[in-house]
Amino acid sequence: MSRRERAVDALVVGAGPAGLAAAAELAAGGAGEVEVLDHAPGPGGLPLHLTHRGFGPRRSPLGGPAYVRPLVRAALEAGAALRPRVLATGSPAPGTVDVTHPGGLERITARAVVLATGARERPRGARLIPGTRPEGVLTAGELLRSVRLHHRPAGRRAVVAGTGPGALAAVRALREAGADVVALVTGHPEAPLLPPRLRVPVLTSAAVAEVTGADGLSGVLVTGPGAAVRRLDCDTLVLTGEGVPECELARLAGAALDPATRGPAVDTALRTSLAGVFAAGDVLRGGGDAPGAAAEGRHAARSALRHLAGGGRPAGLLRLDAVAPLEWITPGLLPVPGEPPPRGRFTLSVSRRVDGPVLLAEQDGRPLGRWPLPHTALPGRPLHLYGMPFAAADPLGGPVRVRIGRTSFPAGPSRG
Amino acid sequence: MSVTRTGALPGTLHDVAVVGAGVVGTAIARELARHRLTVALLDAADDVGTGTSKANTAILHTGFDATPGTLEARLVREGHRRLSAYAAECGIPLEGVGALLVAWDEEQRAALPRLAAKAAAGGHREPRLIGPEALRRAEPHLAPGALAALEVPGESVICPWTTTLAYATQAVRAGTGLHLRCLVTGVTDRGDHHELATGRGPLRARYLVNAAGLHADTLDALLGHRDFTVAPRRGQLLVHDGAARPLVRHILLPVPTARSKGVLIAPTVHGKVLLGPTAEDVDDRRATGSTAEGIEALRAAGRRILPALGEEEVTAVYAGLRAATEHPDYRIRCHRDQRYAAVGSIRSTGLSASLAIAAYVAEALGDAGLDLGPARDLPPVVMPNIGEAAPRPYQRGDLIAADPAYGTVLCACERVTEGEIRDALHSTVPPATLAGLRRRTRARAGRCQGFSCGPAVRAAFDAYRGTRPGPGAAEAGER
Ligand SMILES: Cc1cc2nc3c(=O)[nH]c(=O)nc-3n(C[C@H](O)[C@H](O)[C@H](O)COP(=O)(O)OP(=O)(O)OC[C@H]3O[C@@H](n4cnc5c(N)ncnc54)[C@H](O)[C@@H]3O)c2cc1C
Ligand SMILES: Cc1cc2nc3c(=O)[nH]c(=O)nc-3n(C[C@H](O)[C@H](O)[C@H](O)COP(=O)(O)OP(=O)(O)OC[C@H]3O[C@@H](n4cnc5c(N)ncnc54)[C@H](O)[C@@H]3O)c2cc1C
């Protein structure tokens, strides 16, 4: 098999916000030859296909393409090479990546690799929703691309599962395409606050339990709350909100996975278990937002620059274990000696609502700290823990267990 | 050579009409095409192989566990030999991974020697017993507690979609008329020929073959027979993402006991892992939906066999219906006076036996008076490779150098290139839908199910649909 062998200094896989930001930082920081691969026809990652105004500054959010344009420009100006239509297909050794592109096959070896391969929304099969297999069931990502970029019709009556930003973007796109949104279905007990323009019926504590229809979707059965079962006639079902790390390449390279996030396990410097291989963005936990991904990309790049300059691996690693109802904490490993996480904070996720939440950490039965949170903890909303909260952990001790509890009085202004 | 989906059917008198273009009907049409006969192959659906033939466990069985002396035992055994050779010739993805019947309790362990003896009685001498240590070496991810296994070397996994397509392609190239969207609703005997009433008008044929699978009894009744009644038995299956493929090396079969049938775990030639099937009697012949109970039962059974499988993402859940009947064996009947053959009760081994069933039916038609004439070897076809065991186009620098479309990956999860999508739409039996494209290329059959590639794949499908191949050969396409 004829593979062209090439070497670069730093290789970034994925040209989304995380990969672009990493490339700009690497090139500007003197990494040498920096290359970014993406199998899509152009750089930008997911936001390139998401035209809704939800990106960047909260007060004046941008459409996805407008949001990523400066990231693309910054990477190019810093001297990184952006290579579209290049798919990374394997990694025979850490630091080596096999690719396919219209010009042929290559084996690229790099002194530092940043994996920024993003996430996908969990599709119907993986959600184990029973029933028939008609056309018309799709994820928000596919819907938005299909409607906005390929100008395809979206059906007439749609049901949307989920209530996060993806669901709202889906409602907007469906409406624009002339579809009637019959209902939002959410497992949460409360309806989300919908902007007035997006008012649609919301079924809470409910779930799509079955799909019906032979060739095309004819409807869905929704269960809940409680024992209620109802049938909603629809020709489109949009599934949103459950993200899965796109970590095939990390696994092929042999990187250890974090059992809680199912993304590559990383420490606060975003080092994976493989020397010289870093990971950033949605691949770490299957979701997030674009600015957060970009910040992680820069953070990983700074670690990669230290690695390129001869910096060593940490002397040890402490594991952070999230205890239910916490689902995960990222980064999930603490290097010894400690280093700050991206944006100076850890991100956590909770599987059910907790009012007046407080985070608690302990190691080998010894309390390490107690941190009340300012807002109610809700599923699907990231929680943040700032600073170097685990500094008191014993570097030779066992894993640090992180729990969520309730303060006896509501958190808020009274917090000392 | 023709494939039609609309319009009136040819008015000529055919030698044979085959109703049903599943793996059995296409194999029969291909076999008849070896004799210089005019054959029409009809199916109600918009593609070949959309019935049970697309939704099974994709195992090429040796027949080691069939009841010795039955027609099924004989045809599966012969079908295994024939299809193994045919797959090699046509490039149908096939992996001879072998099977292990794993015993988890004393009752199951005690059953293994009996199964080996039964296999030997049927002429299968290869199966052998292995102990727990050898089993652990063979399958390191197996749950603790496995006591022993029966190893069956010849059991293979095969691509059911390519198999049916290869038969259809060869038949059509040899002159068979394949008429799709063509539901047969009536049969009238016109003395020396049958006149079939179809949704697309009449079709005349001297001989008639009923390969209608789940509906074979309905068609049989149109000819006045009540030889068998189809009682569909549903099998639900879960497909796991390729990340799970390293967890299993063999087909892991359950040991059948009086108390339970159990489920199997099998690698697929597409690099995924199957878990299933369930066995549920259903009334409705269209009940190919999955159920919450079925999925839950499979997940639980899967975790007991291969705990790590439960951690992996599922890419698809599907169900197929076995065309079971009141007969414990295949029911293939040739009615000489009616110039008619019915192929019934091909329950759970039809893929494996397909080529042998076809030879058997052709011979039976010959005995019934059809002048078969001399057989010829059909020009071989080479099907596009969608299996993992041989290099796929995205891995072949030579192909990409000749045609960059083979380096343009549109479906990233499954590594399907624009060149392959184009070739599928230019093939002898082109797809009519995205589902048909998936069965030919694997496009959108992966873990993202279209999240990232869906619209691009659809755009390519639309762009190449109805276009003709340009100058120069499509190197990786069907040849
Ligand atoms: C429906 C929806 C709506 C959203 N709305 C918003 C919003 O309003 N605001 C917001 O901030 N965020 C939003 N997000 C989230 C946001 O898009 C992501 O957080 C962000 O894009 C993550 O950036 P990333 O660089 O980690 O990954 P991505 O942007 O997903 O980029 C990953 C890139 O890697 C490439 N890639 C993957 N594997 C390979 C490989 N093997 N070889 C080559 N290339 C590869 C992919 O092609 C992709 O371009 C939304 C997400 C969805 C699904
Ligand atoms: C869960 C499951 C697992 C299985 N696993 C295996 C396995 O591992 N190995 C194996 O060898 N076998 C397996 N089988 C069995 C195998 O799939 C079947 O035996 C085989 O597919 C039967 O093929 P067929 O052509 O007879 O039927 P089908 O594929 O169902 O084809 C019949 C065709 O007839 C058409 N038709 C019916 N009525 C009419 C009409 N009136 N007019 C026009 N067209 C009509 C239908 O549209 C259909 O396309 C399995 C089956 C199931 C359900």
Average confidence score pLDDT of chain B: 96
Q: What is the mean pLDDT of residues A2-7?
A: 94
Distance CA B181, CA A330 (A): 54
Contacts of A142 in chain B (CB under 8 A): 450-452, 454-455
A contact test, residue of B449, B457, B461 with most A CBs within 10 A:
B449
A144 in contact with ligand 1, CB cutoff 6 A: yes
CB contact under 8 A, A244 and B452: no
**Quick one: which of B465, B404, B461, B409 has its CA closest to B435?**
B461
- Whether pLDDT at B167 is above 70: yes
Phi, psi of B478 (to 5 degrees): -65, 140
> In testing the pocket of ligand 2, which one of B57, B203, B220, B343 has its CB within 8 Å of the most ligand atoms?
B57
Q: Which amino acid is at A181?
A: V
pLDDT at site B466: 81
To the nearest whole Å, the CA of B347 is away from the closest chain A CA by: 22
| Cβ contacts of B407 on chain A, cutoff 8 Å | 100-105
| From the candidate CATH numbers 3.20.19.10, 3.50.50.60, 3.40.640.10, 3.40.50.300, the one assigned to the domain spanning A123-239 | 3.50.50.60
Percentage of chain A beyond pLDDT 70 is 98
CATH number at residue B130: 3.30.9.10
Q: Is residue B27 one of the residues assigned to a domain?
A: yes
User: What pLDDT is stored for residue B259 in this prediction?
Assistant: 66
Confidence of residue B471 (pLDDT cuts 50, 70, 90): low
Confidence of residue B477 (pLDDT cuts 50, 70, 90): confident
User: What's the total number of domains in chain B?
Assistant: 3
Q: Could you please state the CATH topology (level 3) that the domain comprising A4-120+243-313 is classified under.
A: FAD/NAD(P)-binding domain (3.50.50)
Same domain? B344 vs B426 = no
Q: What pLDDT, in 10s, does the model give residues A154-206?
A: 899 999 999 888 898 999 999 989 999 999 999 888 887 778 788 899 999 99
Residue B351: both structure tokens together: 């893929």
- What does the pLDDT look like over A255-271, one tens digit per residue? 999 999 999 999 999 99
Does any domain span residue B187? Answer: yes
User: If pLDDT is split at 50, 70 and 90, which confidence band does B374 have?
Assistant: very high
B235 and B130 in a common domain: yes
Ligand 1 near A108 CB (within 6 A): no
Looking at the fold, whether B334 and B451 belong to one and the same domain comes out as no
Q: How confident is the model at residue A413 (pLDDT cuts 50, 70, 90)?
A: very low
- Contacts of residue B240, Cβ cutoff 8 Å, sequence gap at least 6: B272, B273, B274, B275, B309, B312, B313, B314, B315
The residue written with tokens 């590594």 in the block is B415
- pLDDT > 60? residue A55: yes
Coil vs helix vs strand at B162: helix
Do B260 and B358 share a domain, yes or no? no
Residue B302 resides in a domain: yes
Instruction: Choose among B295, B434, B454: nearest Cβ to A128.
Output: B295
Q: Using the predicted structure, report yes or no on whether residue B355 has a pLDDT greater than 90.
A: yes
- Residue A150 contacts B where some CB pair is shorter than 8 Å: yes
Residues 111 through 140 of chain A touching chain B, CB cutoff 8 Å? 120-126, 128, 130-133, 135, 138-139
pLDDT tens, residue by residue, B378-405? 999 999 999 999 999 999 999 999 999 9
Contact A123 B449 (CB under 8 A): yes
Q: Are residues B304 and B334 in the same domain?
A: no
Do residue B259 and residue B318 come from a single domain?
A: yes
Kindly list the distances between the CA atom of residue A119 and the CA atoms of A92, A191, A242, A380, B447, in Å, as whole numbers in the listed order.
22, 26, 10, 15, 11
Cβ A250 under 6 angstroms from ligand 1: no
Nearest ligand 1 atom to the CA of A47 is 17
Residues 6+ apart with CB under 8 A from B291: A130, B236
Let me know whether B331 and B296 are in one domain. Answer: no
Model confidence pLDDT, tens digit, residues A326-362 = 999 999 999 998 999 999 999 999 998 899 999 999 9
Q: Which of B317, B451, B452 sits opposite A128 (nearest CB)?
A: B317
The pLDDT value recorded for residue A20 is 98
Report the pLDDT value the prediction gives residue A416, as an integer from 0 to 100: 32
Is the Cβ pair A150, B459 closer than 8 Å? Answer: yes
What average pLDDT does this structure show over B291-320?
Answer: 96
Shared-domain flag, residues B124 and B236:
yes
Between strands B409-411 and B416-417, the pairing is: antiparallel
Three-state DSSP string of chain A:
CCCEEEEEEEEEECCCHHHHHHHHHHHHCCCCCEEEECCCCCCCCHHHHCCCEEECCCCCCEEHHHHHHHHHHHHHHHCCEEECCCEEEEEEECCEEEEEECCEEEEEEEEEEEECCCEEECCCHHHCCCECCCECEEEHHHHHHHHHHCCCCCCCEEEEECCCHHHHHHHHHHHHCCCEEEEEECCCCCCCCCCHHHCCCEECCCEEEEEECCCECCEEEEECCCCCEEEEECCEEEECCCEEECCHHHHHHCCCECCCCCCECCECCCECCCCCEEECHHHHCCCCCHHHHHHHHHHHHHHHHHHHCCCCCCCEEEEEEECCCEEEEECCEEEECCCCCHHHEEEEEECCCECCEEEEEEECCEEEEEEECCCCECCCCCEEEECCCCCCCCCCCCCEEEEEEECCCCCCCCCC
Cβ of A126 within 8 Å of Cβ of B314? The answer is yes
What pLDDT does A412 receive?
A: 45
Range of the domain at B111: 99-153+231-322
Q: Does residue B125 have a pLDDT over 70?
A: yes
Ligand 2 binding pocket includes B127 (Cβ within 6 Å) = no
Reported ipTM exceeds the 0.95 cut: no
Joined together, the tokens standing for residue B420 give: 């392959």
Q: Is A223 on the interface with B (CB under 8 A)?
A: no
Contact B451 A139 (CB under 8 A): yes
Provide the shortest C-alpha distance from residue A125 to chain B (in Å). Answer: 4
Same domain (yes/no): B403, B312: no
Which ligand 2 atom is the nearest neighbour of the CA of B198?
42
Q: Which carries the bigger pLDDT value, residue A2 or residue A219? A: A219
Q: Tens digit of pLDDT for each residue in A11-44?
A: 999 999 999 999 999 999 999 999 999 999 999 9
Evaluate: CB of B61 within 6 angstroms of ligand 2.
Answer: yes
**In this model, does residue A151 exceed pLDDT 90?**
no
- Please check whether residue B76 lies inside any domain of the structure: no
Residue with tokens 């057989």: B375
Query: CA B99, CA B89: separation in Å to the nearest integer?
Result: 24
| pLDDT tens by residue, B217-243 | 999 999 999 999 999 999 999 999 999
Same domain assignment for residues B136 and B235 = yes
Asked if the Cβ–Cβ distance from A101 to B407 is below 8 Å, we say: yes
Q: Would you call B452 and A210 a contact, using CB atoms and an 8 Å cutoff?
A: no
Q: What is the pLDDT of residues A286-325, one digit of tens each?
A: 989 999 999 999 999 999 999 999 998 999 999 999 999 9
The tokens describing B22, both together, are 């599943």
In the predicted structure, residue A378 carries a pLDDT above the cut 90: no
Tokens representing residue A300 in the block: 């990983």
What six digits make up the tokens of B82? Answer: 């024939």
CB-nearest partner of B315 from A3, A126, A262? A126
Q: Do A105 and B450 touch (CB under 8 A)?
A: no
Model pLDDT for residues A90-142, shown as the tens digit of each residue: 999 999 999 999 999 999 999 999 999 999 999 999 999 999 999 999 999 99
Residue A408 pLDDT: 65
Does A212 lie at the interface with B, CB-CB under 8 angstroms? Answer: yes
In a domain, B68, yes or no: no
Chain mean pLDDT for chain A = 93
Ligand positioned closest to the Cα atom of B181? 2
Shortest Cα–Cα distance, B58 to chain A (Å): 19
B275/B165 same-domain check = no
Distance B209 CA to ligand 2 centre (A): 15
Residue B426 has pLDDT above 80, yes or no: yes
pLDDT at A321: 97
| Residue at which a domain ends, from B322, B354, B376 | B322
CATH number for B174: 3.50.50.60
Claim to verify: residue B190 and residue B338 sit in the same structural domain: yes
Q: Is A362 on the interface with B (CB under 8 A)?
A: no
3-class SS at B337? Answer: helix
Is position B86 within any domain?
Answer: no
A244 touches chain B (CB under 8 A): yes
- Please list, in sequence order, all residues whose beta carbon lies within 8 angstroms of the beta carbon of residue A239, skipping any fewer than 6 positions away: A121, A122, A123, A124, A127, A137, A138, A139, A140, A161, A162, A208
Q: Is B258 domain-assigned? A: yes
Q: What is the pLDDT of residue A411?
A: 45
- Chain A neighbors of B288, CB-CB under 8 A: 132-133
Does the pTM surpass 0.90? The reply is yes
Decide: B212 in ligand 2 pocket, CB within 6 A.
yes
Domain with CATH 3.50.50.60 in chain A: 4-120+243-313, 123-239
**Nearest alpha carbon, ligand 1 atom 13:** A289
**Measured distance CA(A25)–CA(A83) in Å, rounded:** 17
Query: What residues of chain A lie within 8 A of the CB of B400, using their CB?
Result: 100, 102-105
Closest CA to B104 of B306, B247, B244: B306
Task: Specify the ligand 1 atom closest to the Cα of A144.
Answer: 1
Q: Would you say residue A409 has pLDDT above 70?
A: no
Quote the minimal CA–CA distance from B120 to chain A in Å.
41
CA distance B111 to B61: 20
Question: Is there a domain that residue B239 lies in?
Answer: yes
Look up residue B446 and give its DSSP letter. S
Compute the average pLDDT of residues B177-198.
Answer: 97
